[in-house]
Amino acid sequence: MIFDAVGQINGYLWGSILIYLLTGCGVWFSIRLKFIQLRHFFHMFTLLRFSRQKSQHGISSFQALCTSLAARVGTGNLMGVAVAISLGGAGAVFWMWVIAFVGMATAFAESLLGQLYKEKDANGNFRGGPAYYMRKGLNSKFLAITFSLCLFFGYGFVFSSVQANSITDAFSGSFGVEPIYTGIFIAILTAWVVMGGLKNIARFSEIIVPFMGVAYLLICLVVMGMNVEHLPGIFALIVKSALGLEQAGGGLVGAAIVQGVKRGLYSNEAGMGSAPNVAAAATTYPAHPASQGYIQMLAVFFDTIIICTCTACLILLFDNTEQGIQGIQLTQQALASQVGAWGSDFITIAILFFGFTSIIASFAYAETNLKYLRLDTLLGHWFLRIGFLFMLIFGSVASLPQVIALADLSTGVMTIINVIALFLLSKVIIHVTKDYHQQMKNNVLPSYQPNEAEKEKFKLTPKVW
């Protein structure tokens, strides 16, 4: 009865409430920030050039970008797009683009707040995230603790096991490797990375994420180059199907919208409150909270507009009318049809990289929120590490529908709390953004230097800004 109730609640949460809430949040901040994702689109890439700078107190902006991309770019970029197209048709891709566009503004807002309200831990490293801006900006210890608890359960114990399950299934199907052996290997590799803390995770992500992203993009670009004459027709099909202009797909418009929006939200994570945890740990350049907002907008752009679009093109170039293949097998067969049998194995390896980096980033998010659960101690850190590694092995061999249902519930609650906080802190976001833009207009390198009255009003941590 409990899990039936959880399933019904998740149906309402992820079937309608969160779709409207996150879409509304993206539209709200797109308007309030005057479509910053369009006006300053190239400014994001300008900041990326200087994003490797860091200090002893924090990771670099580039490392924060890679770590957040590690969480965003998971198996959903390969499997989720296939599901969206299978259930919603080609038009679902268009609505994924739309939700990514408005989600970029949400990502800017939440990452700006994560930076603004960050503080230093006992080791002098920057820490922050939604729990921090809820506690300080909203003066709500209850929301901070509730958010941390939801994130700790979802990212600390469940999502990593789901990624491990996807990886072991793929390796079992492609290479015949027993899931338990793959699970143990993943756990050992994870332990090696996470024992070094957030800075070690960031260094790992800085190397692996660009490598896996570029490798996957290159394969997709080669396939698209081989079929360049078909690409205009594919993009026309995406737009026409989304708007009901395709005669055969006119009845799929509703399904295209639902699937595109849902998969887009799952993929880019904008508004869920996960990315601000690592965004807050960065030493920004320029030294202003808004600069990390721009960097995290790029993460949404790369995740959905670039990587998901490449996957969509692979799938739409594949004639699946007779085979009726779905899910990750659709992506595997689509690539194999273009480059040969090794294409299926390549997707399996890609799942390993995409899934493993998501596992690492999930640990980073959970560790950041130990403070508000009063677990920011040596014992608390070891509790998380041991539980996290155990769930990787458990997830590799178990069927997880009930656990996943609980994780979806905790993530849904976490997202609702975060979006409410973003709306309530809108004036703060707009004020800090205007400060950045005014300095840019004056041809000054932006630097956030709040006066004492502003520090008191926003309840900022002393000696951080």
Average pLDDT over residues 155-169: 82
**Average pLDDT across the chain, whole number:** 86
- The average pLDDT across 152-173 equals 82
What is the per-residue pLDDT for 402?
Answer: 66
Name the helix (H) or strand (E) containing 171.
helix 159-175
Say how far apart CA 457 and CA 102 lie, in whole Å.
29
Distance CA 171, CA 139 (A): 48
Query: CA-CA distance, 105 to 85, in Å (whole number)?
Result: 25
Residue 213 has pLDDT above 60, yes or no: yes
Average pLDDT rounded to a whole number, residues 285-289: 91
Q: What is the pTM for the complete model shown? A: 0.89
Neighbours of 178 (CB within 10 A): 13
Contacts of 143 (CB under 8 A, 6+ apart): 134, 135, 417, 420, 421
pLDDT at 322: 57
Q: Is the pLDDT of residue 3 over 80?
A: no
Q: 3-class SS at 352?
A: helix
CATH superfamily of domain region 2-458: Amino acid/polyamine transporter I (1.20.1740.10)
What are the residue boundaries of the structural domains of the chain, listed by start? 2-458
Judge if the upstream peptide bond of residue 462 is cis by omega within 30 degrees of 0: no
Neighbours of 240 (CB within 10 A): 17
